[in-house]
A and B are shown apart, each in its own frame.
Chain A
Amino acid sequence: MSTPIQPKKNVHTISLLVANKPGVLVRIALMFARRSYNIDSLVVSPSFNEKFSRMTITAQGDLQTLEQIIKQANKLIDVIHASEHNNADAVHNELALMKIKFTPANKPIILKLLKKSNASVIDTTGNIMVISQAGTTPELDELEAALKKYHLIEMVRTGKVAMARGHDET
């Protein structure tokens, strides 16, 4: 019997626009560490403007500490702005690569699962395939759980990226 995937408690998604300079990541990481806030995932990528970078951080902890972290982040001179995003005001996505060993017998079942989950095979070498899936965190969690029943060898996930809906700035 399979148990439904439970969303993690107290997980927050924080989006930051920061100066594209050395040391900025350290300043931000220090703020989390000092307040015992564990970072689950962190994505840094260029923005349209080469002077700035985007950061999306998912982290676990209580709400009051989160509020303090966002305020302290906004105080950093290298942070242009920092804010929390939820599902209502933003869309989230991440990408996973999964490596799985298949047999002629289970291959059709796996492929069926992938089709259902909007995932695709991007490499097959011998009896090992690499699967790519983009989607929301629960979608990725769900496929991961399903594939664990087979011979899942490795998994790499990018961590969540977020973008505010409509006219709102991320």
Chain B
Amino acid sequence: MTKNKKPIAPKKSLTGAEALIKCLESYGVEYVFGLSGGAAIPIFDALVGSKIKLILTRHEQGATHMADGYARATGKPGVVLVTSGPGATNTVTGILTAMMDSVPMIVLTGQTIRSMLGKDAFQEADISGITMPIVKHSYLVKETNDIPRVIKEAFHITNTGRPGPVLIDLPKDVTSGPFTGESLDPAMDIPGYHVPPKPSATEIKKFAKLFKGAKKPLLLIGHGAVISRASKAIIALAEKLNAPVTNTLLGKGSFPETHKLSLGMLGMHGTAYANKALVNCDLICSIGSRWDDRINGNNDEFCIGAKKLHIDIDPAEIGKIVKPDASLIGDARQIVEELVKLVEPLETTEWQKELNYYKKEFPLKYKTDKGLTAQQVLDELYKVTKGDAIVTTDVGQHQMWAAQFYLTNDGDKWLSSGGAGTMGYGFPSAIGAQFGKPNELVVAIVGDGGFQMTLCELSTIFVHKLPVKILVIDNKYLGMVRQWQELFFDNRYSGVDLEGNPDFVKLAEAYGIKGFHVDKVENVTKVLSEAMAYKGPALIHAEVIKEDNVFPMVPAGKSAYHMIIEAPTTKLEKPTGST
């Protein structure tokens, strides 16, 4: 007896995971960054044949930073897919990083089956509980048919208002179960979520009048301006007001740092002239900054006597640190576009003269007589790339020097972990940025400390032949902490010596990646030029002098009045601020 040949099955019904992937496709997801595991197998299975490209990372932290870099470079949410338990907990640092810097990101985590929840099942972690304080929102999906609604809400929440990460925990039986819902595009059900509308014309008019009469105005540009793509409007506002502009670390590029009104970055390691402007201004208007403790170490001494104006999309930022004289809640670009029409030019010739004096008197500088410095390498990188690369950084001294010397003219081209200060961010975020912007030159500026936290992703760039350039600034120290110990702790070095660093060129080569090396002042331009022109992934190992300090410096917990411009000759008291 012959077996009846079964007819080809009619259009088979979807599993929850298949419905999930179809939803991701419909929201324009190009890449999913992740690492597989048991509880997420149904979702990885559903990715087979999808037009979404799966980027298999070597560690889940790398996946989150890649999604973060992709999001910051493109403005589109980054998507992460990992398994339950340790797979999920490995995303925590990346989620915190995204939350602190308001980055849109969707993190999909596999979870044990529903009947085993709360029973200490294999690889069970209460990831929605663990991440509650560091997400914009999270879901533990209990019904397969809820998946499309949850995904729709997540994409809406993550990238509207003040962006932030959304975590979706997906039990394995929910993703493998049949989807019997009516629609992959159902109605959302989030009555508690409101994106602040544009302020009324009257409110903006009232606000615009407050600029009148200012003799020493200062615009402070933060990450919110980058996120809302407010650059053009801010340039117009600054030029109309004749107001100097300073930016936070994450506001870099939203106002071109090569513009004559730019003072560069302010704050703990900001330029002397930006900090002088902060001290001497009579009006400061923050556009999308949260007055954080890197720029405002001591609220009692912050911009004494100056009128303080605050534009932010998050109502909770108004009055959190600085009590402003007036505020507008809403999208920075929309508000500034209206403000430009309403403000009147200010007479600031004297003010600009004063600041130009500081620019001349206290420029950012470095020496070349005692060997290769990080500053020189970064200054040369800026010149070699004509300031046009997408730059990511890790955290520490190299980050501050990069912020000082790699001037940025485009907010999408400066990717750095500001709020969280996550070491290990630089390299994977560059990978994400390169996936998002395949035709741009992407350079990861990393320290020897941070790079070693996520360097396993060298495999990822090798596999995908991603032309990311990794510039390892190697001083064989955790340099920023060493600097503190030198300045404030009597040179008592503790936990900062990175002896045992590998030969980074050999390391790169072991992964099949081209390595370059430089340790001489006179070779930097040549080596960097070659490396930047190299077609394909490359690592540049720059060995710099071991002990060097970032200046200017405002000790933690102090106001900009206490800025130290050059290496002090007397002993400094221990800072009162946390870090």
- Hey, which bits of chain A sit against chain B, CB under 8 A? 18-19, 22-23, 26-27, 30, 34, 64, 67-68, 71-72, 74-81
Contact = CB atoms under 8 A, between A and B. Distances in A.
A77 B137 contact: yes
Contacts of B320: 68, 71
Given A76-B192, A77-B157, A77-B190, A34 B133 contact: yes
Nearest to A82: B192
Nearest to A30: B133
Nearest to A76: B192
Interface in B96-143: 128-129, 132-133, 136-137, 140
Contact of B191 (A22, A67, A68, A80): A80
A78 B140 contact: no
Nearest to B190: A77
Interface centre among B157, B190, B314, B316 (most CB of A within 10 A): B316
A78 B192 contact: yes
Contacts of A23: 128-129, 132, 140
Contacts of A81: 192
18 contacts: A19-B192, A23-B128, A23-B129, A23-B132, A26-B132, A64-B319, A67-B319, A68-B319, A71-B316, A71-B320, A72-B316, A75-B316, A77-B136, A77-B137, A77-B190, A77-B193, A79-B192, A80-B191
Nearest to B142: A22
A74 B315 contact: yes
A71 B133 contact: no
B135 to A, nearest CB: 10
Interface residues of B, number: 17
A80 B192 contact: yes
A82 to B, nearest CB: 10
Interface in B344-371: none
B378 to A, nearest CB: 37
B129 to A, nearest CB: 7
Contacts of A30: 132-133
Contacts of B133: 30, 34
Given A23-B132, A80-B192, 13 more contacts: A18-B192, A22-B140, A23-B128, A23-B129, A27-B132, A34-B133, A71-B315, A71-B320, A74-B316, A75-B314, A75-B316, A77-B157, A77-B190
Nearest to A75: B316
B129 A26 contact: yes
Contact of A77 (B140, B192, B315, B319): B192
Interface in B297-330: 314-316, 319-320
A64 B319 CA distance: 9
Contacts of B316: 68, 71-72, 74-75
A72 B315 CA distance: 9
Contacts of A27: 132
Nearest to A69: B316
A77 B133 CA distance: 13
A19 to B, nearest CB: 6
Contacts of A75: 314-316
Interface centre among A23, A64, A81 (most CB of B within 10 A): A23
A50 B314 CA distance: 30
A27 B129 CA distance: 9
Shortest Cβ-Cβ A-B pairs, 8 listed? A71-B316, A77-B137, A80-B192, A77-B193, A79-B192, A30-B133, A77-B192, A72-B316
A81 B191 CA distance: 10
Interface string B208-252: 000000000000000000000000000000000000000000000
Contacts of A74: 315-316
A64 B192 CA distance: 24
A69 to B, nearest CB: 10
Interface centre among A77, A78, A80, A81 (most CB of B within 10 A): A77
Contacts of B140: 22-23
A74 B319 CA distance: 15
A115 B425 CA distance: 69
Contacts of B319: 64, 67-68
Nearest to A34: B133
A76 B191 CA distance: 11
A134 B137 CA distance: 38
Contacts of A19: 191-192
Interface in B399-450: none
A99 to B, nearest CB: 35
A76 to B, nearest CB: 7
Contacts of A18: 192
A102 to B, nearest CB: 46
Contacts of A68: 316, 319-320
A23 B193 CA distance: 17
Interface string B132-175: 11001100100000000000000001000000000000000000
Interface centre among A22, A75, A78 (most CB of B within 10 A): A75
A27 B316 CA distance: 16
Interface centre among B133, B136, B192 (most CB of A within 10 A): B192
Contacts of A64: 319
Contacts of A80: 191-192
B48 to A, nearest CB: 33
Nearest to B316: A71
A74 B195 CA distance: 12
A54 to B, nearest CB: 14
A76 B133 CA distance: 11
A68 B133 CA distance: 15
Contacts of A79: 192
A163 B17 CA distance: 45
Nearest to A18: B192
Interface string B175-212: 00000000000000011110000000000000000000
Contacts of B191: 19, 80
